[in-house]
């Protein structure tokens, strides 16, 4: 009769989360991106797995929605890689919530991920996770701003590339 917070929460919240994510299809359809009911269930499973493996617990179902709404206008997302990318982004998101010691809010982290994914990483999840977020997390842990860089020249080049 012990209180198992994780098992209690996941059972309760899942149904609500599925409905919420399915609702996002109305918004993402304009970009030619939609998720099937099966995709949504798998996304929830990924989220639960990511939460468990990172030792976290979530009470609302908002993060996947936020990721979808932020990333749906990315030029690097197509219907072919949409579901898979959202899976990876969800895992990356929870991993870096821990790595940043919760010093950054959900919205800020998702916004940072989107900027770098569309910018420097040009749609590469490996670069996003292994380089950009890694640097950002290190900066935060050492008390710098998330965008701090020891090589400002490179930053300028990157900014130019975006135009």
Give the residue with the Cβ less far from other proteins, 51 or 83. 51
DSSP result, 123-152:
T-HHHIIIIIHHHHHHHHHTT--TT--S-H
Q: Which helix (H) or strand (E) holds 89?
A: helix 82-99
For other proteins, the binding residue among 105, 122, 147, 149 (CB under 8 A) is: 105
Q: How far is the CB of 5 from other proteins (least distance, A)?
A: 6
DSSP result, 16-43:
HHHHHHHHHHHHHGGGT----HHHHHHH
By CB under 8 A, what part of segment 49-78 binds other proteins? Answer: 51, 55-60, 62-63
Residue 130 CA to residue 41 CA, distance in Å, equals 27
For other proteins, the binding residue among 45, 73, 102, 161 (CB under 8 A) is: 102
Question: Could you tell me which residues come within 8 angstroms of residue 87 by beta carbon, excluding any fewer than 6 positions away?
Answer: 42, 43, 46
Give the residue with the Cβ less far from other proteins, 121 or 146. 146
Give the residue with the Cβ less far from other proteins, 8 or 79. 8
Residue ranges binding other proteins (CB under 8 A): 1-3, 5-6, 8-9, 12, 51, 55-60, 62-63, 94, 97-98, 102, 105-107
């Amino acid at each position: 009769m012990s209180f198992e917070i994780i098992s209690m929460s996941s059972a309760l919240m899942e149904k609500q989360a599925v409905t919420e994510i399915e609702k996002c299809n109305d918004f993402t359809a304009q970009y030619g991106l939609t998720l099937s009911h099966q995709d949504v269930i798998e996304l929830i499973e990924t989220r639960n797995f990511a939460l468990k493996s990172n030792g976290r617990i979530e009470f609302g179902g908002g993060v996947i929605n936020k990721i979808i709404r932020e990333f749906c206008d990315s030029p690097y997302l197509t219907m072919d890689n949409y579901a898979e990318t959202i899976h990876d982004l969800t895992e990356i998101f929870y991993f870096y919530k821990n790595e940043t010691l919760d010093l950054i809010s959900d919205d800020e982290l998702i916004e940072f991920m989107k900027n770098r994914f569309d910018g420097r990483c040009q749609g590469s999840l490996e670069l996003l996770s292994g380089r950009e977020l890694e640097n950002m997390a290190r900066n935060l842990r050492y008390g710098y701003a998330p965008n701090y860089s020891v090589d400002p020249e490179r930053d300028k080049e990157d900014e130019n590339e975006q135009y």
